[in-house]
Amino acid sequence: MRHKHLQEWIDETVSWCEPDRVVLWQGTKSEYDNLAEAQIRAKKAIRIDNKHRKNCILFRTDPSDVARVEQRTFISTKNERDAGPTNNWIRSDILKDEMKRRYQGSMRGRTMYVIPFSMGPIGSVFSKIGVEITDSPYVVLNMHIMTRTGDKVLDILGENGDFVKCLHSVGYPLSPGQADPLWPCTPIEEKFISQFPEDNMIWSYGSGYGGNALLGKKCFALRIASNQARREKWLAEHMLILKLTSPEGTTKYLTGSFPSACGKTNLAMINPTLAGWKAETIGDDIAWLRFKDDGRLYAINPEAGFFGVASGTSWKSNPNAMKTIESDTIFTNVALTDDGDVWWEDMTETKPSHLIDWQGRDWYPDSPNKAAHPNCRFTAPASNCPVIAENWEDPEGVPISAMLFGGRRPSTIPLVYQSFSFEHGVFLASIMGSEITAATISDKIGIVRRDPFAMLPFIGYHISDYIEHWLEMGKLTSSEKLPLIFSINWFRKDEFGNYLWPGFGENSRVLKWIFNQSEGLSRGIASPVGIIPAANELDLTGLDIDENAIEKLFEVDTESWKAEIASIEDHYKLYGDLLPEELSKQLDLLKQRVGI
């Protein structure tokens, strides 16, 4: 090991965690194949290799370890003010002492893997390096797909390069002769997913699942990276990146930021219905953005794979995702068919007559439980995607012309509108969210759950400072070089509860208007909330949609917006005395335009 500091950290971790052996991950295909085969032999994973899928595997987690655990996720700093009101906080020295006690001997009977990884193309000025130490083979296999791993990363790191320390343990040491459970983890109250931004460090204990354990994902790429971005004047955001090419051959790049269940991955892999338009994927989840010398904002996708929600993914909703997961994919908590394939709810119109569910039990169409867990996942290489852009790994990034922000709103919010300015766009992103509609929480139906920038669980510092950072970024270049900002809402409904807009590939019609707005080729008209398409500017060629539906999609109802403003004011109480002045200003301007 050439890097003295890294070797010292490895040695220190060995002395804490006491693993039986240590493996330095080199990032080769043979390593991956051998580790996957070992998991299958140990009956911890199931091989999925049939006429539909090649070289895939299925894992089943413990029922207590199926999703992110926000209540056990911490931003740990010296001062509580730095974490802010949207994060759980424990003083860093106290939390380190608490977790060190748990790490002591936590890897006994296990192998400790050391995974050097790069977030972003190796060697890019945009990229950052991390090293994850883990005792979970599941984590190793997923990190191999989701990031660039191994010796080539160590070469870039050299003798003294900076890296983020990522330590993970499932928290389940083994005594000699003790059998290992199918999915080792700890009870939820023992789990810790802790970010230490002042140390560029992540410590995770007790969970083996997803973003709790794949520390390059939300922990590094958003919570730690958002702190790095603030210090270094760039942005780490929960955004897809889409490449859009017109029939004339002009290419634009846009980002999209949406809370969960709002069609983010579907948009990232959209098949346009408009003739001659081409859409390609740069990334589906995270974007890192920097200004370059030409004054424009450029973005990379720091990930190398997709960690997507399988539930609801089908040939109808996202055919490109279905093609992506036909090979070299890890499935988590999906059901198993009788012919050795995978299945989940809404994958097919007809349910299979029999399955083995995500907990290994027999399942039939009349079974009371779902066959797959609602948060079941697939982990697939981005290179598998049939519409991945040729330049998706460009180390220079791609120039962003437009940014989309939106949630799931059955009323009030128009299909699309453009902000009046960059500052107004930051305001729109700060108030985005989704309306609660599930009957199981009927006492809260109609309440908007705000998710600023779709980053509420992922901002690694005080939300007020985060908004101020965005506003400061807008001052680093001329206004004409900044991306245009748009509010999006695919989910508006009529009085009978039917969607007014068909969605999916038809969303390309909205993208075309956004594209043309960035080119100065279309017309918009000012409404009280923003700039909406002028009459006949939204291309509806060949679309069977009622004229009244189009009118309703862009209706700005004054009474509804008065209620919306009251909801925004209530949300802004979150900031206390630290509400950014610009947000107050933009809210006042909205009130004036609405007539309050």
From the centroid of its chain, how far is CA 131?
21
Place of tokens 């009977």: 109
The CATH number of the domain covering residues in 237-304+392-594: 3.90.228.20
Domain boundaries, the chain: 4-44+73-232, 237-304+392-594, 305-384
Q: How many CA atoms lie within 13 A of 100 on its CB side?
A: 10
| Res 441 pLDDT > 50 | no
User: 4-44+73-232 and 305-384: same fold?
Assistant: no
Structure tokens at 195: 């970010």
Alpha carbon distance 65, 67 (integer Å): 6
Pair 408, 435: CB distance under 8 Å: yes
In the sheet where 235-237 sits, what is the strand order?
Answer: 235-237, 287-291, 297-300, 398-399
From 17, 166, 185, 262, active-site residue: 262
Assign 210 to helix, strand or coil.
Answer: helix
DSSP state of 217: I
**Confidence label for 438 from pLDDT (cuts 50, 70 and 90):** very low
Output the 3-class SS for 282-298. EECCCEEEEECCCCCEE
Structure tokens at 169: 């343990």
pLDDT (average), residues 240-246: 98
Kindly give the pairing relationship between strand 251-257 and strand 402-406. parallel
Rg over alpha carbons for the chain, rounded to the nearest Å, is 24
**Residue 444: its pLDDT value, please?**
62
| Res 139 pLDDT > 60 | yes
Q: How many CA atoms lie within 13 A of 524 on its CB side?
A: 24
The CATH number of the domain covering residues in 4-44+73-232: 3.40.449.10
Assign 384 to helix, strand or coil.
Answer: helix
| Res 443 pLDDT > 80 | no
From the centroid of its chain, how far is CA 151?
27
DSSP state of 483: P
**Residue 447: its pLDDT value, please?**
84
Alpha carbon distance 175, 107 (integer Å): 10
Place of tokens 């204990």: 205
Alpha carbon distance 353, 335 (integer Å): 12
pLDDT (average), residues 294-314: 97
Beta bridge partner(s), residue 75 = 195
Beta bridge partner(s), residue 242 = 254, 281
Alpha carbon distance 263, 269 (integer Å): 10
pLDDT (average), residues 111-130: 97
User: What b/e readout covers 165-199, taking b as 16+ CB neighbours within 10 angstroms?
Assistant: bbbbbbbbbbeeeeeeeebbbbeeeebbbbbbbee
Specify the amino acid at residue 540.
L
**Residue 445: its pLDDT value, please?**
55
pLDDT in tens, 331-387: 999 999 999 999 999 999 999 999 999 999 999 999 999 999 999 999 999 999 999
Neighbours of 513 (CB within 10 A): 23
Structure tokens at 186: 């700890």
Q: What percent of the chain has pLDDT over 90?
A: 96
Alpha carbon distance 245, 401 (integer Å): 13
Cα-based angle 81, 163, 306 (whole degrees, multiple of 5): 90
Specify the amino acid at residue 246.
S
**Residue 442: its pLDDT value, please?**
38
**Residue 437: its pLDDT value, please?**
53
Is 376 labeled as catalytic in the residue annotation? Answer: no
**Residue 95: its pLDDT value, please?**
98
| Res 158 pLDDT > 70 | yes
**Residue 1: its pLDDT value, please?**
78
Tell me the whole-structure pTM to 2 decimals: 0.96
Q: How many CA atoms lie within 13 A of 577 on its CB side?
A: 1
Kindly give the pairing relationship between strand 235-237 and strand 287-291. antiparallel
- CA neighbor of 530 nearest in space, from 400, 453, 437, 432: 432
**Residue 440: its pLDDT value, please?**
34
Q: Does domain 305-384 bear CATH number 2.170.8.10? A: yes
Kindly give the pairing relationship between strand 398-399 and strand 297-300. antiparallel
Query: Rounded to the nearest 5°, which phi and psi values hold at 191?
Result: -80, 145
